[in-house]
């Protein structure tokens, strides 16, 4: 079936931001605790909100705000310039738009960070009808609430008319929370197949082209 709308996660789905994100995490942990990390050892920071990953790794709550400030300093200063669109994204989004699919972003990033990063990669933010960041909601209710805001903005009440595309379990969980079909973006390499086992997966995308084919039916 063809979908009326496609909602995309950002990091690891549209843009390879791993150099900037993981570099920022490494920098912040080094400044805070003198720790040295390889980017490979920090891969599980990709996807979930950084504040949750920071807590999950056992770091103290009182350091969270400073960790996020240090991360942002690095990302804005140099990390953003390492980000790249995944192969096929520019052409694929253009084809979807040409075929009448409404496009949106639902990310754990803030909306300003999504826009600045996408533009730096040469992307046209105007191709998206809605860009929503979970970090902008203020209540920190997570991905499902962010997706719900996108659906409301698009005016879509029938969840089978839209599909969520993402690379981590939180994207699949957020899709399930809104009864949306879900396409797993495997090409970034951050979310293995077994991570999605508890959730509905309608498409396993080994490339962005495969995701586009699925959306167009």
Which two structure tokens, joined as six digits, stand for 188?
């970034």
Q: How far apart are CA 143 and CA 169, in angstroms?
A: 10
Q: Which residues touch 98 (CB under 8 Å, ≥6 apart)?
A: none
3-state secondary structure of 183: strand
Per-residue pLDDT for 31 more than 50? Answer: yes
pLDDT tens by residue, 133-159: 876 655 456 899 999 999 999 999 999
3-state secondary structure of 110: coil
> The pTM is what?
0.92
Residue 44 has a pLDDT of 87
pLDDT tens by residue, 32-46: 999 999 999 999 899
Q: Which residues touch 197 (CB under 8 Å, ≥6 apart)?
A: none
Domains within the chain, CATH numbers bracketed:
5-16+84-216 (3.40.50.1000), 18-82 (1.10.150.240)
Per-residue pLDDT for 100 more than 70? Answer: yes
Q: How far apart are CA 147 and CA 133, in angstroms?
A: 9
Mean pLDDT of the residues in the chain: 94
Q: Output the DSSP codes for 27-94.
A: HHHHHHH-----TGGGGGGSSS-HHHHHHHTT--GGGHHHHHHHHHHHHHHTGGGG-EEPTTHHHHHH
Query: Residue 184 belongs to what H/E stretch?
Result: strand 182-185
pLDDT tens by residue, 67-95: 999 999 999 999 999 999 999 999 999 99
Q: How far apart are CA 35 and CA 55, in angstroms?
A: 16
Q: Is 67 exposed, middle or buried (0-12, 13-18, 19+ CB in 10 A)?
A: buried
Give buried/exposed letters for 91-129 (b at 16+ CB in 10 A, else e): ebbebbbeeebbbbbbbbbebebbbbbbeebebeeeebe
């Amino acid at each position: 079936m063809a979908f009326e709308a496609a909602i995309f996660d950002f990091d690891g789905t549209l843009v390879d931001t791993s150099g900037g994100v993981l570099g920022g995490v490494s920098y912040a942990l080094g400044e805070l605790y003198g720790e040295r990390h390889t980017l490979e050892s920090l891969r599980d920071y990709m996807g979930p909100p950084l504040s949750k990953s920071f807590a999950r790794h056992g770091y103290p709550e009182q350091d969270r705000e400073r960790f996020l400030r240090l991360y942002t300093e690095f990302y804005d200063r140099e990390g953003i310039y390492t980000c790249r669109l995944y192969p096929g994204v520019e052409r694929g989004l253009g084809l979807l738009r040409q075929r009448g699919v409404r496009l949106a972003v639902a990310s754990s990033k803030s909306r300003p960070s999504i826009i600045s990063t996408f533009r730096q990669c040469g992307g046209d933010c105007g191709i998206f009808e809605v860009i929503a960041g979970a970090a902008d909601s203020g209540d920190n209710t997570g991905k499902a609430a962010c997706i719900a805001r996108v659906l409301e903005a698009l005016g879509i009440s029938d969840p089978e008319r839209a599909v969520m595309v993402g690379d981590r379990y939180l994207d699949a969980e957020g899709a399930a929370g809104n009864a949306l079909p879900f396409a797993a973006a495997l090409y970034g390499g951050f979310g293995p197949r077994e991570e999605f086992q508890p959730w509905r997966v309608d498409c396993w995308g080994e490339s962005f082209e495969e995701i586009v084919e699925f959306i167009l039916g």
